Amino acid sequence: MRFLDGYKRFNDALEWLIVGFTGLIILVIVALPFVATVVRYGTGEGYTWIAETPPQLVPWVVFPLLGVLLRYDGHIAVDVVPHYLKGRSRTVLRLLVLAVCLVSALAFGLFGAKTVLFFRQLGQMSTTEFEFPLWTLYVSYPVGFSLAANFCLEALLQEAAGRRDPAREIGPAGA
């Protein structure tokens, strides 16, 4: 149980970092169009990179937050069966779902990393105002799914130990 407590504290800190990081990215995504407007109005010049950057940052919001949403059961789900199950049957179903999520996240993370390596070997560069290696856009995919696998593992271990915290759920408690 001490391991689970330490693992939970580690993931609490990791979640805090992820939410802070993605919050800063969202701030940049929202601020850049405003900056572009001010620059264009003030100087009469437009800079393409200001318009190109926000869409390139969106994956760095979506994929890292995936694990945080899974941690809070904030994912999209059709929860018909759990309403009819009680006790141990509900726990077994939840363990099965978490195991599938864990294996899926690991597979997506692994194949995402292989894809990044493939694009890195191609050596393609972006066609934006500031050129950069195109593979850097795809790094968020394996990072996000690796984080999701980590949070799925935590939820799986907590459920197996009977330490599920209904207060952490986004949806209705006990659903």
**11-41 residue pLDDT tens:** 999 999 999 999 999 999 999 989 888 888 8
Say if residue 175's pLDDT is above 80. no
Q: Give me the chain's average pLDDT, please.
A: 86
- The C-alpha atoms of residue 24 and residue 46 are separated, in whole angstroms, by 24
Give the angle 129-23-150 at the CA atoms, nearest 5°: 105
pLDDT in tens, 90-117: 788 888 888 999 999 999 999 999 999 9
Mean pLDDT of 53-58: 90
- For the chain, where are the E strands, in sequence order? none
Residue 47 binned pLDDT confidence (cut-offs 50, 70, 90): confident
pTM: 0.81
Q: What's residue 118's pLDDT? A: 95
> Alpha-carbon distance 152 to 105, whole Å?
8
pLDDT at residue 93, as a whole number: 82
Answer with the residue of higher pLDDT: 16 or 174. Answer: 16
Which 8-state DSSP code applies to residue 72? T
